[in-house]
Amino acid sequence: MAIRQIVKEGDDVLSKKCRTVERFDSRLGQLIDDMTETLHKAQGVGLAAPQVGILRRVVVIDVGEGVIELVNPKIIAYSGEQESLEGCLSCPGEWGYTRRPNYVKVRAQDRNGNEFEIEGRELLAKAFCHELDHLDGIIFKQKAIRMLTPQEAAELNS
């Protein structure tokens, strides 16, 4: 396992659409392991492959209940609404309010190519939406209703 460098906003790779994963090999496993280690080191909630410079549809999420690995994820159902603060490891120190569904159901494959479905509410639903957006080149700031001012963000970070 290895820590990978997290790409910051402004890098082209974050605005591109990721390709579908077709090979479920040891390289994919390595990428997922590295992303998980990188996520934990950065103390984040989720990380998408483009954030480590890889344009593949791969996401790892950990809201404190264990790591969820998603390959080729798709949102197949959602409902409700939540408005809450959101940040991104690629936009350090920046926070904004977003409106997301309160419930999201995702269909994905695991690292071996087996299909599964997983549901999330509140923080997990928000994480699914945020990370899957990365796979289509979208950063949360594009969807934010209001970004915190630098002063507000500084108070939040302190």
Which residues bind to Zn ion, rule: CB under 5 A? Answer: 88
In whole angstroms, how close is the CB of 89 to Zn ion at the nearest point?
Answer: 6
Residue at shortest CB range from Zn ion: 88
β-pair partners for 100: 82
Which residue's CB is nearer to Zn ion, number 122 or number 133? 133
Q: Is 131 a catalytic residue?
A: yes
Query: For residue 80, what are the CA distances in angstroms to 35, 58, 75, 120?
Result: 30, 26, 14, 12
In whole angstroms, how close is the CB of 112 to Zn ion at the nearest point?
Answer: 26
Which residue's CB is nearer to Zn ion, number 7 or number 113? 7
Our CA angle for 75, 48, 5, nearest 5°, is 175
Check if the beta carbon of residue 97 is closer than 8 Å to that of residue 143.
no
Which residue's CB is nearer to Zn ion, number 28 or number 91? 91
Active site residues: 131
